[in-house]
Every structure is written in C-alpha cells, then in structure tokens.
Amino acid sequence: MKKIILILTVMIAACNPSAEKTTNGQEGAGFFLPVEGEKYVVATDSVTDIWMNYIKAHNDGDLEAIMTMDSDSIIVEADDGRVIRGKEMHKAALADWFAAENPKWKVYWAMPYKAVNGGQEWIVAGHQVTTTVDGKKKVQLHMIDGEIKDGKIKQFYVYSKQIPEPPKTDSDSAE
C-alpha cells in the first residue's frame, strides 16, 4: 500500500508542474528583464484604493490633494513623450491641462501587483479619459502603470489609444 501511495504521489507531482519560486520562496509569475529573476504576485487592494483616491483628486481638479499623494521625486512619463519630474513640475503640468481640457477619468479596470524580490508595489489600470476643448469632447483610453511607495505615487507611465469614430452608415449620408 505504501508503494502505491508513493507511486501516486510521484505521478501527481510529475503531472503538476511546480510554480517558480523566487529567492524569498514566494511564488510569482512574469519577468522584468532589468532585474534577473524578478517575479510578480497580486498586491492588496490598499494599492488600488490609493490609486482610486488619486484619480478622484484628479477628477475633482484638486491640485493640493494630488500634491499630498505625490512623492517629492515623482516621475511621470506622459503618452506624448514628455517626462515630468518632481511635484512642482507635475503641479504646473496638471494646472495647465485642467484649464485647457478639463480631463475626467473613469477607471474601468485595475490590477495591483507586487515585485516578489524587490517588494515594489504597482498598479496597472485602464482609464477612459474625456477631455473638453471649445465644447467638443474627445475620449481616449489610457493604460497607466504606476509605482506606489510608502502610500505615495512614486512614478507612472501613461499609454494612450484613440477611440476611432464609428463608421458612417448610408443613413448618415442621407441626413
């Protein structure tokens, strides 16, 4: 009987590949080329909560609240290639953008994650961003990948996609 149990255990283990373990023994997935062996796990929703509060402050146009959530050395890599460094530069860029386009964010998905070896906490989230210029609304999709450290936004990267206009139909041209 012991032989049968041993054989079954070996067979089950062989058919069930083990998850990769990192140096601290925690399971993880994925990779990051600059950090050999780095893996990621799901972080807690406290990271998501920080991000959602940050977005709320943006929607409210509350620059002072945003500044309390930014780390002193925040870095923002914008979708247009600009790199914004530090709170004051971030505040000025946001003030200009808020005045010019009145952006509003709607987060439609979010995933907090954590580097297993390094311990950095990140969030990747999808946003529908609506801007208004001269009464005309424009909607883009933004994916933002942001690092949160000690409860503050340390850095984030913005990637955007235009939402194409719906195709014209025959009934559109008859109007």
Res 163: pLDDT: 84
Res 73: pLDDT: 98
State how far the alpha carbon of 154 is from the alpha carbons of 46, 52, 78, in Å. Answer: 15, 15, 14
Pairing of strands 104-115, 40-42: antiparallel
Residue whose entry in the numeric block shows the structure tokens 């050395």:
73
Res 137: pLDDT: 95
- Distance, in Å, from the CA atom of 11 to the CA atom of 7, rounded to the nearest integer, reads 6
Helix runs in the chain, H state only: 2-15, 45-59, 63-69, 87-101, 170-174
- Distance, in Å, from the CA atom of 17 to the CA atom of 27, rounded to the nearest integer, reads 13
- Distance, in Å, from the CA atom of 81 to the CA atom of 61, rounded to the nearest integer, reads 23
Domain boundaries, the chain: 43-162
Res 100: pLDDT: 98
CATH class of the domain at 43-162 = alpha beta
Tokens matching residue 85? 């460094």
Res 175: pLDDT: 54
What is the pLDDT tens value at each position of the chain, 175 positions in all? 444 433 333 333 444 444 455 555 678 999 888 889 999 999 999 999 999 999 999 999 999 999 999 999 999 999 999 999 999 999 999 999 999 999 999 999 999 999 999 999 999 999 999 999 999 999 999 999 999 999 999 999 999 998 877 788 776 655 5
One-letter amino acid of 134:
D
Strand positions, DSSP E, 33-173: 40-42, 70-77, 83-85, 104-115, 121-133, 136-149, 152-162
Question: Considering the entire predicted model, what is its pTM?
Answer: 0.80
